Structure 1
Amino acid sequence: MSANQFPKLFSPLKIRGSTLKNRIMSTGHDTTMPTDGRVNDALVAYHEARARGGAGLIVMQVAGVHETARYTSHLLMATDDDCIPGYRRLADAVHAHGCRLFTQLFHPGRELMESADGLLAVAYAPSSTPNERFHVMPRALTREMIAEIVHGYGQAARRMYEADLDGVEFVASHGYLPSQCLNPLVNRRTDEYGGNLANRLRFLREVLAEMRRQTSDSFVIGMRISAGEREATGLTADDALEACTQLEPMLDYVNITAGTSASLGGAIHIVPPMAISNAYVAADSKVFKQRLGIPVFVGGRINQPHEAESVIVNGQADVCGMTRALICDPSMPAKAEAGRTDDIRACIACNQACIGHFHRGYPISCIQHPETGRELTYGEMQPARRRRKVMVVGGGPAGMKAAATAARRGHDVTLYEAGNQLGGQALLAQLLPRRNEFGGIVTNLGRELELSGARVLRNARVDESLVKSEQPDVIILATGAKPYVPDFEHDGGVQVVTGWQVLRGEVTVGRRVLVVDWRCDWIGPGIAEMLTRAGSEVQLAVNGTHAGETLPLYVRDNIAAELHRQQIAVTPYARLYGCDGDSVFMQHTTSDEAIVFENIDTLVLCHGHQPDSVLEDALRTWINGQREASPVELIAIGDCMAPRTAEEAVYEGLKAGWQI
């Protein structure tokens, strides 16, 4: 199968002085890689991997245009000429692979997340209208500061032009400063920058004109804007469309997205989780494409090349943002063009290591492809110095990644899985409501395993005698974990089951259910939602400040919305104490006072997991006794070391396969 499968996706597109070789774009997204506001080796390696993998366009993360634009402590800054060499080095690396490079130019206005030293910075906006999500009360911009910021945009564009980038993208999306200027509910000015649409557009016009004045006629200048901020006081789709229509003569393209940073509900659309439909913004971008005569870009969960092809064929956009698809598989475009669609590692929109890392202040990565963000370490597979016989025990994500990595490096690898299916706990995770895509990690790692050439034995339980007979050089243990059931008093009046038993259909729960969630991840809320949909009256008690406390923010907030829609009562700060009759007793985790749930039929325990270390204990005893005669290397990874998440499991699988 060839690129003819995606003729539109792999057709060129000319935009002013640049030609894109295809319609696949990595949209601007924070990486948390820059240091001291500058492009560094890690960022160059990250973007070069996607250019090498065949992307047609990379739009870099935001660059601040003014000192007041520092909305995080790790923002790239384009406020002085010292930034030019780093950008030029990145442009050279990307251009070497035939990929075009733009960068986003940015001012957040009132949307300040955090600062470098822990002190709250002064935020500036068109008016002193508060932000709901970060609880920021901004200071109204003076005319003098507006002029400074406009000039800053122009200077930043000039620096990008001198650094040999192909263009810049003016960020007017997600409730940032330009959007704040447009929004009459945020911009309450009474001077020439407020009031009617012409006045509210004035700041945007001045910025676009200044950027063009300081660059050239061949330099691309586009604009990103939300087609509706999905928030009661946000910019509407009609507002955004009218703004684009008015600004069209000054723009080379518009990049359509959705949502806003200003509210928890609107922010979900900045990086929509798997509960939201694929390519869902394309219906909005089609309206813009029908109205405008310039190219229209769109993003929003476009994960696979066939989805992107459909968007373009259906006249919904000219270019598709496939950012997380490229985070998950940097070579996705090249694979699609070569017809190797089965080899594409599809994003599952878990948000854990990409935007989840960013929100925690760490460089982004991918739970399925931990090489992402670590290109300087794992960017090029190194062949093994000598071939070794490797037994991998356990076919969950950790074992699959370890076996595939070791086999690709040239080792003789056999993976042993006790069950009849590979996947481990991911097979359970995909059974929860709106989490079915999580099963994609099994499909993707399974294909990686198949391509590696490792042998896979299912229904093969490993014990000490099998290890002795196989005489491996290396044993990688990925035996996983089992549900943890805490000690607590109960008299049998309440049915007590684990989340695993519910998901496997091993128990029938009663009508009145209490789900006790110690982990504060997606398992407890997911089971609560599932049982509610099945007809039970469900309450959720969490051992944290709120449901989903350990989850990426947008996943957490999406779950919170669904719990509210399903009218599932959530009790925070709750520690399991015991059961008596049909009552469940818990303690408030800060006051130690009782919390009582009455008339409960079934108690579902989501209390995390315990490592399955039985085989490890036996093998370590044997190896320690045979050290001189049998120098077997034993490596434990994933949940059998300590129960955590799929991200740690896959990363430790990569490290284990890499180190032997």
Structure 2
Amino acid sequence: MSHLFPHLFEPITLGPRTIRNRIVSSGHDTVLDEHGQIGPDLVAYHEARAAGGCGLIVLQVSGVHETARYTNHVLMATDDSAVPGYRAVAGAVHRHGATIFAQLFHPGREVMDGERGMAPRAVAPSDAPQERFKVVPEALSTAEVEDIIAGYATSAARIASSGIDGVEIVASHGYLPIQFFNPRINTRTDRYGGSPENRRRFLAEVVTAVRAAVGPGIVVGLRISGEEKTEDGLVATEILDLIGHLDDLEALDYYSVTAGDSSTLQGAVHIVPSMQIDPGYATNLSAQVKKVTDRPVMVAGRINQPHEAESAIAEGRTDMAVMTRAMICDPEIAAKSQRDAVDEIRACIGCNQACIGHFQQGVPISCIQHPETGRELTFLPRPRVRRAHRVLVIGGGPGGLKAAAVAAEQGNDVVLCERGPHLGGAVLLAQTLPYRSEFGGAATNLSAEAARAGVEIRTSTPVTQDIVDAIAADHVIVATGAAERMPELEIADDALVLGARTYLADEPRLPAGRILVTDWKGDWIGLGIAIRLAEAGHPVTLATAANFAGAAIQQYTRTLLVSQAMRAGVEFLGDARLVGVDEDTGYLQSTLCEIVHEVENVAATIVSGAPRAVRPDLDFGAAGVTVIGDALAPRTVEEAVYEGLLAATELADRDRAEAASA
């Protein structure tokens, strides 16, 4: 039992099941399915979290009706071909002492994908349009509503027959059950619309039908947004009233509380809240739910650290803590917390880049800090080398740190040299941007992993030929990153023009007046600098060669950043590249046509341009050489860390090949 987190590791009973601790991996789409069914990759993904000590794992949504296909890769529980997959994942999770539930799902009008790229078709209580995906749904007939309710029951029974311990009805984030309850969406006049009782009827009948289908031996829970936090969304008082009526049915064993709504950008940011939102912010909603029910309550919303979960439970704001992204980042966070090894935890930084960001691209989820996530069958368990090789890693940014840590964990003798006094590379600049401070955790986490693995770390050590010769490495991994590159500009008079990296590193005092920030990519850098300057009182114009500010940033994160920039008064100009600056004017060429934009009364210009790869000019002799990250081609932290993992793994592969040929 943990001394630091006694409440977090106290068992809890949900209906007929006792869960070993209060840590939950909630339902989240992984894009690890195999044609809508559970295959080996998804089994391995969840088994890693069960082995890491998680108490309860909730599978991603399972469609209960043919009209429930909200993406092209949703799991479907509509026929018996799904049963072997559920049985396999249940067995894998149970082997490690964890409990597993599955989600029952229908999106209603919240449909993302159409067939083969066509516009999506959706069904809903009424034909109220959906803003975010631009969907106008087809209103369901009464007979179709009844057919979907029956689908919930038969899907639940099918899942229960496979050895899954419980089912969770998804009524959160504006999905079908809650669409029926919302009077701003449901304009029906039959028995499923109109009065509050009629608008509750769909969800009440689903709950009752599911309980009857699975019997008393299976847990039945409900996921619901405690507040939808969007225009025309449901507020807390409406949700609490609904929960009170559902409680009277005596069919539910627990409530899983979250926040937000999928139908608007404003509400969707709460589906996977990024680092701009305070940790544990949704526990005020679960605390309200606990006042109207005696059933256990769990809550999701930026609970990334065990102390956040412990305090929420100890203070009575929730009974269980959803720590999904925390376990995407570190599948062993539960086991580490239980033995009070908090310094070993790889903390989620809320960047959203490879988890929900990958899902929204339609590719399997991962983590920029832990690319083994989603690739468990490729990279885990970590192989050990037969013979230790001498490995030199040049560069202490994220890619170099990952390569060094993994190579050392495999049993190699690793030396890492960093020319600067601190490890972290470009992450050290990124963390200085507004609402980006948590990003520095990537450097902290990776540095600690390298140190624990036994890497010999030398900071303030530019690698010279003498150092290369002295180390005499068998293999060299070059992770020297990228340098600032200024575009070719016509600069007249005494115009003040600075590169973004120079500005962030030196923090020079800028003259009073309008600052023109130009951005070639549409990422955090230009947008972050613009927000910083605007919040400091400067008039700011942000011009980007992308279609719009933040175009390269994950949607939920971008929504919050752009709204903050708007509140700060930043003016935006899209599809424009900087071509010249004079004493008080910036000249920008449209990327679409011949038009030239002029931004007047400019006191200074800050340029966030395309970086340039940096590689050392050294003779490595007979050593093998691998170039990774920005030194190979400037991109993001995700690619650098992945390539560090890949480079180290290839060392082990080479060792196995040598052993086989010996």
**Letter aligned with residue 545 of structure 1:** N
Separation (CA, whole Å) in 1 of partners of 2:130 and 2:416: 52
- After TM superposition, the structure 1 = structure 2 runs for residues 259-270 of structure 1, keeping only pairs within 5 Å, are 259-270=260-271
Query: 1:636: which partner in 2?
Result: 627
Aligned partner of 2:123: which letter?
A: Y
> How far apart, CA to CA, are the structure 1 residues paired with 2:245 and 2:228?
19
Q: Distance in 1 between matches of 2:567 and 2:541?
A: 14
Secondary structure at the aligned position of 1:287 is classed as helix
Paired position in structure 2 for 1:611? 613
**Structure 1 residue 119, shift from structure 2 partner:** 1.8
Query: 1:199 aligns to what?
Result: 198
1:449 — aligned with what? 450
Matching of residues 63-462 of structure 1 within 5 Å: 63-248=62-247, 249-462=250-463
Distance 2:198 2:116 in 1: 37
The answer as to whether partners of 1:510 and 1:536 remain within 8 angstroms in 2 is: no
Moved more, 51-60 or 461-470: 461-470
CA shift, 1:121, in A, is: 3.5
Distance 1:581 1:12 in 2: 68
| AA at the equivalent of 1:376 | L
Q: Which residue of 2 aligns with 1:545?
A: 547
Deviation at residue 376 of structure 1 after TM alignment = 0.5
Amino acid of the residue matched to residue 132 of structure 1?
E
Q: How does 1:476-487 map to 2 (within 5 A)?
A: 476-487=477-488
Residue 652, structure 1, aligned to residue 643, structure 2: yes
1:142 is displaced (CA, Å) by: 0.4
Q: Alignment partner of 1:443: what SS?
A: helix
CA shift, 1:134, in A, is: 0.6
Distance between the aligned counterparts of 1:326 and 1:243, measured in 2? 31
* 1:223/1:251 contact within 8 Å kept: yes
Deviation of 1:518 (Å):
0.5
Contact 1:70 1:115 in 2 (8 A): no
Residue in structure 1 matched with residue 518 of structure 2 by the alignment: 516
Matching residue of 2:654: none
Q: Distance in 1 between matches of 2:228 and 2:589?
A: 40
The one-letter code matched in structure 1 to 2:222 is: M
Shift of 1:652: 0.7
Paired position in structure 2 for 1:5: 4
Secondary structure of the residue aligned to 1:29 is coil
> Which whole-Å CA distance do the structure 1 matches of 2:279 and 2:430 have between them?
20
Q: Match of 2:566?
A: 564
In 2, Cα distance between equivalents of 1:476 and 1:178: 53
**Partner secondary structure for residue 86 of structure 2:** helix
Q: How big is the shift at 1:204?
A: 0.5
Structure 2: distance between partners of 1:582 and 1:68: 58
Measured in 1, the distance between the counterparts of 2:138 and 2:321 equals 37
1:103-153 Cα distance to aligned partner (Å, 9 max, x none): 111000001101341122321110110001011001111011101100100
> What is the CA–CA distance in structure 2 between the aligned matches of 1:534 and 1:503, rounded to whole Å?
15
Q: Look up the match of 1:586.
A: 588
CA contact (8 A) 1:61 1:103 kept: yes
Shift of 1:497: 0.3
Per-residue CA deviation, residues 500-556 of structure 1 (Å, 9 max, x unaligned), is: 122123422222100001110011010001111222111100111111101111111
* 1:567 CA drift (Å): 1.4
Letter of the 1:122 counterpart:
R
Distance in 2 between residues matched to 1:568 and 1:364, nearest whole Å? 33
1:231 partner amino acid: T
What amino acid sits opposite 1:187 in the alignment? N
Aligned 8 A contact 1:407 1:452 in 2: yes
Work out the number of aligned pairs and report it.
648
DSSP-derived class of the 1:39 partner = coil
CA–CA distance in structure 2, aligned partners of residues 517 and 365 of structure 1: 27
- Given that 1:573 and 1:589 are in contact with CA atoms closer than 8 Å, whether structure 2 keeps it comes out as yes
Report the alpha carbon displacement of residue 331 of structure 1 after superposing the two structures with TM: 0.3
TM-score (norm 1): 0.97
Give, as a single letter, the amino acid of the residue that structure 2 aligns with 1:195: G
Matches of 1:575 and 1:497 in 2, distance apart?
A: 16
Q: Is the 8 A contact 1:231 1:265 kept in 2?
A: yes
- Provide the rounded CA distance (Å) in 2 between the counterparts of 1:573 and 1:182: 42
Secondary structure, aligned partner of 2:18: strand
TM-score by length of 2: 0.97
Deviation of 1:46 (Å): 0.1
Alpha-carbon distance in structure 1 between the residues aligned to 2:493 and 2:555: 38
Instruction: Measure how far apart 1:467 and its partner are.
Output: 0.9
Amino acid at match of 1:98: G
1:502 maps to 2:493: no
- Number of the residue aligned with 1:626: none
Q: 1:637, 1:652 within 8 Å by CA — same for their partners in 2?
A: yes
Amino acid at match of 2:299: V
In structure 2, list runs of 5 or more residues that go unmatched.
652-662
Q: Distance in 1 between matches of 2:87 and 2:53?
A: 20
Q: Secondary structure of 1:4's match?
A: coil
Q: Offset at 1:599?
A: 1.1
- Post-superposition offset of 1:431: 0.6
For residue 105 of structure 2, what is the amino acid of its counterpart?
A: F
What letter is aligned with 2:5?
F
Q: Which residue of 2 aligns with 1:627?
A: none
Equivalent position amino acid for 1:634 in 2: V
Question: 1:253-273, CA deviations, whole angstroms, 9 ceiling, x for partnerless residues?
Answer: 111000010000100000000
Query: Match for residue 54 of structure 2?
Result: 55
Cα deviation, residue 469, structure 1: 2.8
SS at match of 1:63: strand
**RMSD of aligned Cα (Å):** 1.0
- Which residue identity does 2:180 align to in structure 1? C
- How far residue 631 of structure 1 moved from its aligned partner, in angstroms, is 2.1
State the 1:560 CA deviation. 1.4
Q: Which amino acid aligns with 1:58?
A: I
**Residue 498 (structure 1) shift:** 1.1
Q: Is the contact made by 1:493 and 1:579 (CA closer than 8 Å) also made in structure 2? A: no
- What whole-Å deviation, never above 9, does each CA across 1:380-439 have from its counterpart, x for those lacking one? 000013211111110010111111010110111000011110000111111111100001
1:346 shift after superposition? 0.3
- Work out whether residues 72 and 116 of structure 1, in 8 Å CA contact, stay in contact via their aligned partners in 2: no
The answer for the alignment partner of 2:656 in structure 1 is none
1:493–1:582 contact (8 Å) kept in structure 2: no
Could you tell me how far apart the structure 1 residues matched to 2:53 and 2:115 are?
A: 36
Of 528, 531, 547, 1:529 maps to 531
- Cα deviation 1:156-212 (Å, max 9, x = unaligned): 100111011010110000011011111110011111111122111100111111111
Contact 2:178 2:203 in 1 (8 A): no
Percent identity between matched residues is 47
Equivalent residues of 2:63, 2:106 under 8 A apart:
yes
> Matches of 1:116 and 1:34 in 2, distance apart?
17
Q: Partners of 2:511 and 2:38 in 1: how far apart?
A: 57
Q: Name the stretch that deviates more: 498-507 or 633-642.
A: 498-507
> Which residue number in structure 1 is paired with residue 660 of structure 2?
none
Secondary structure of the corresponding residue to residue 214 of structure 1? helix
Q: Distance in 2 between matches of 1:632 and 1:612?
A: 20
Separation in 2 of the partners of 1:391 and 1:365?
Answer: 27
The 1:583/1:121 distance shift into structure 2, 3 A limit, reads: closer
Encode CA deviations 1:229-272: one digit per residue, 9 max, x unaligned.
Answer: 11011111111111111101221111100001000010000000
